[in-house]
Amino acid sequence: MNDPAMIQVRYKLQRDDFALDVDVGLPMQGITGVFGASGAGKTTLLRCIAGLESAAESRLIVAGDAWEDSNSGVSRSVQARNVGYVFQEPRLFDHLTVRSNIEYGRKRREQNGTASFDRVIDLLGLESLLSRSPAELSGGEAQRVAIARALLCAPRFVLMDEPLASLDQARRDEILPFLDRLHAESSIPIVYVSHNIEEVCRLCDHLIVIEGGRVVANGELQDVLVRTDVAAVGGDHAGSVIEGTVAGHDDNDDLTELKFSGGTLWVPGETVAIGAPLRLRIRAADVSLCRARPDDTTILNVLPAVIDSIEPAAGPSTLIRLVIGDERIVARVTRRSIRELDLKAGDDLFAQIKSVAVRSCRESDAEVLADRI
């Protein structure tokens, strides 16, 4: 309960149209995704943690320090909580320059030297924007400034509330590489709220799923994604994430070879150095199963797999969890196929993976790009 590496969060509150009842531990490292549909209570939870919202029952223990406890009456003010908060909209101060915006929190909090100004500016590519006014920034640039501002207010951790939700796809694609870099290079823990599974798969290490104000799953990203019994991660967007190492590039076919514990995967050519870690997302709908290894298929990636479990379901199709090496992936298969092939847990078979999506380079891309073969 007083684990130094955890943020213990307990909030219970009732609003007119919705209730939140959460008791969960968040790791104080890496990026923790808080995933769920709109209206599930993600934003309210984040606002409670930041001290912007009050709850009937509350307990917030950050690395052993009680920040809030409704039983003993402890409640630190927003100002005294030392968390960075990135809102859905940038909320920059229009009367100040970009530099003054970023320095606003820095000047008001005692710095412990974890994040230096120059490093954050460099990480988020803000050097050329510092003297501008917020009105002169694009939506994506403004959100990058807001992220820098939050990182530089000496936070114990940073809360991000769907920072990309108000941006169009092009702007998101512009910011995501910066978040990748942040993930790889920054030691500040981040709690990242999102209803976009692809963002979560790309950025997070740990995942909490919220449904109707309650936590329905909590664990390592890979473990939660293969929870076929959790509706939020098991719907049309069901998929899994595996991590491997780049083993080589085939420049003729523009493919990259990735090694992981279950074998080798060929993925579309990536500008990543050999030996670099790479994260892949495999959608359940892109995985099919066969009893015998097919030798006349167009699909490049066919791997031996063992059925771990088959989720009972009423619809036309259901999810099967497979073990490949040390990794688990999920496949969406029709119930008819399961019956006709007589599939059951423990069966050995072959998984065909049609395509992989969402790659995340988790090393400094500058170096990696230079090493491109």
Partner 1 sequence: MDSLFSPLWLSIQLATITTVLLLAIATPIAWWLAQSESRWKPLIQTIVAMPIVLPPTVMGFYLLILLGPAGALGSWWVDLTGSALTFSFAGLVIASCIYSLPFAVQPLSVAFESLGRTKLEAAWTLGASRTDAFFTVAVPLSLRGYLGAVVLSFAHTLGEFGVVLMVGGNIPGETRVVSIAIYDQVESLNYAAAHQLSALLLIVAFGALLAMFFVNRRWRR
Q: Least distance (Å) from partner 1 to the CB of residue 190?
A: 14
Out of 25, 27, 29, 52, point to the residue binding partner 1 (CB under 8 A): 52
Q: Least distance (Å) from partner 1 to the CB of residue 147?
A: 12
Q: Is 280 in the site for partner 1 (CB under 8 A)?
A: no
Tell which positions 61-100 bind partner 1, by CB under 8 A.
78-79, 81-85, 87, 89, 91, 93-95
Is the CB of 150 or the CB of 356 nearer to partner 1? 150
Is the CB of 47 or the CB of 281 nearer to partner 1? 47
Cα-based distances in Å from 368 to 180, 186, 300 = 13, 17, 26
Burial 180-218 (b: 16+ CB within 10 A, else e): bbbbeebebbbbbbbbebbbbbbbbbbbbbbbebbbbbb
Q: Least distance (Å) from partner 1 to the CB of residue 55?
A: 17
Tell which positions 106-125 bind partner 1, by CB under 8 A.
108-109
Q: Is 150 in the site for partner 1 (CB under 8 A)?
A: yes
Q: Is 50 in the site for partner 1 (CB under 8 A)?
A: yes
Q: Is 153 in the site for partner 1 (CB under 8 A)?
A: yes
Q: Confirm if 249 and 269 have CB atoms less than 8 A apart.
A: yes
Out of 104, 117, 266, 350, point to the residue binding partner 1 (CB under 8 A): 104
Q: Is 135 in the site for partner 1 (CB under 8 A)?
A: yes
Size of the site for partner 1 (CB under 8 A): 23
Q: Least distance (Å) from partner 1 to the CB of residue 131?
A: 18
Is the CB of 149 or the CB of 321 nearer to partner 1? 149
Q: Least distance (Å) from partner 1 to the CB of residue 117?
A: 14
Q: Which residues bind partner 1 (CB under 8 A)?
A: 50, 52, 78-79, 81-85, 87, 89, 91, 93-95, 104-105, 108-109, 135, 149-150, 153
